[in-house]
Amino acid sequence: MKKFTLLFALLLSLGMLLAACGGAEDEDNANEGNNGDGAANEEEAGDFSAAMVTDIGGVDDKSFNQSAWEGLKAWGEENGFSKGEGFDYAQSNDKSEYIPNLSRLVRDEYDLIFGIGFELKEDLQKIADQNPDTNFALVDDMIDAPNGVSITFKEHIGSFLVGVAAAHKTSTNKLGFVGGIDSPLINKFESGFIAGAKSVNPDIEIEVEYAASFGDAAKGKIIASTMYDNGIDIIYHASGGTGNGVFNQAKDIKQNDPDRDIWVIGVDRDQYEEGAIGDHNVTLTSMVKRVDVAVQEVTNQAMNGEFPGGKTLEFGLEEDGIDVATTNSEAMTEEIINAVQEWEDKILDGEVEVPQTREETEAFIDAL
């Protein structure tokens, strides 16, 4: 009887053990089935990394580079990463640092590397050709490589619309444009702005000046000072960190003469905060270029195995890549916003073709 009882107990224990093992295995299989996609996505994200190299404007230029970094950082945080662990940037303080920065990120085995700005084109092309197993993206120019994607924007259209806003806001009929480097890209900003303002008032005067730098705030301040002294009351800048000087000069004038109407039109990001001075704000509006959206979208595509290598992506109004900021509700009145919307509708409907070069702008103005 004792032997039978002992045998029964052993069999019972063995059965419970097998049941427990089977249950655990079933539970693991169930978890794998329920969370298979999520686990796969986590693993996929965990194995993927992205980084960017700034131009000399720097990651805190409150403009172009900063917008790109915000997009990459948003992507990283969405996937549970932190700076240096899954995403990062390399700061360039001089053109000579582009190649070393790009090379370091390649050695660090980042899967996707962005070059922020057209000035990186030649160096990024060279590094992409030398490293076919790494994906690259160039913002604001075109790279010719199967492992590279070109990210461009319709800056001329956004600039046209802020030109319309400026033409409705000016009280002196004198506007200014401050560019960083005189180049085909920045000429798009200049051309669109002039065309937009002239479409509203062909008699408006527009002074154009280039600082030959995207990182010289002191030069931007000097240019702005001369323009404001000449009766210009609104300056649109497309000059990266150089534009900080334009804002500083406008704020200095406003602080000394609070009743004077003095304005700056920001670029790339909504630069409303850059115009704050006491109870006033000198930022009329900003031509918002959603570099952050483009960077985030391309990074997601690459992570998901859908990297658009060899292609050129263009972001405009239809892709929510271009916008006109209305944050300063006191300056951007309902009348101005409605006028901007009317011209935007004309552009989207194909009634207006916005010029992209100085030659096209001359022809556009002649046809008004």
Q: How confident is the model at residue 45 (pLDDT cuts 50, 70, 90)?
A: low
| pLDDT greater at residue 63 or residue 172 | 172
Share of the chain above pLDDT 90, in %: 83
End-of-domain residue from the set 153, 176, 205: 153
| Whether residue 248 sits in one domain with residue 168 | yes
Lowest-pLDDT choice from 32-46, 213-227, 353-367: 32-46
| Whether residue 345 sits in one domain with residue 238 | yes
pLDDT of 51 = 98
pLDDT digits (tens, 9 = 90+) for 106-115: 999 999 999 9
pLDDT of 21 = 43
Residue with tokens 């309902």: 334
| Whether residue 355 sits in one domain with residue 282 | yes
pLDDT of 321 = 93
The rounded distance, in Å, linking the Cα atoms of 2 and 122 is: 88
Residue with tokens 């990266």: 240
pLDDT digits (tens, 9 = 90+) for 99-142: 999 999 999 999 999 999 999 999 999 999 999 999 999 999 99
The DSSP code sequence of 267-328 is EES--TGGGEETTEE-EEEEEEE-HHHHHHHHHHHHHTT---TT-EEEE-TTTT-EEE----
Q: How confident is the model at residue 64 (pLDDT cuts 50, 70, 90)?
A: confident
Residue 35: pLDDT over 80? no
Sheet containing 112-116, strands listed edge to edge, beginning at the edge strand earlier in sequence = 82-83, 86-90, 50-53, 112-116, 135-139, 148-153, 312-315
Share of the chain above pLDDT 70, in %: 88
Kindly state whether residue 37 falls inside one of the protein's structural domains: no
Q: pTM above 0.85?
A: no
DSSP 241: G
Residue with tokens 């609104």: 234
Residue 10: pLDDT over 60? no
Kindly state whether residue 5 falls inside one of the protein's structural domains: no
CATH number at 189 reads 3.40.50.2300
Total of domains in the chain: 2
| Whether residue 194 sits in one domain with residue 144 | no
Residue 15: pLDDT over 50? no
| Whether residue 124 sits in one domain with residue 218 | no
| Whether residue 53 sits in one domain with residue 141 | yes
| Whether residue 172 sits in one domain with residue 127 | no
pLDDT digits (tens, 9 = 90+) for 300-319: 999 999 999 999 999 999 99
The rounded distance, in Å, linking the Cα atoms of 155 and 360 is: 15
Lowest-pLDDT choice from 60-74, 158-172, 182-196: 60-74
| Whether residue 256 sits in one domain with residue 165 | yes
Instruction: Report which of 277, 266, 259 is spatially closest to residue 242, judged by C-alpha positions.
Output: 266
| Whether residue 72 sits in one domain with residue 174 | no
pLDDT of 46 = 66
Kindly state whether residue 224 falls inside one of the protein's structural domains: yes
Residue 19: pLDDT over 80? no
End-of-domain residue from the set 153, 188, 221: 153
List C-alpha distances in Å: 164 to 90, 204, 229, 231, 337. Answer: 37, 11, 23, 19, 10
What range defines the domain where residue 163 resides?
155-288+333-366
The rounded distance, in Å, linking the Cα atoms of 260 and 273 is: 19
End-of-domain residue from the set 153, 181, 209: 153
Rounded to the nearest integer, the mean pLDDT of the chain is: 90
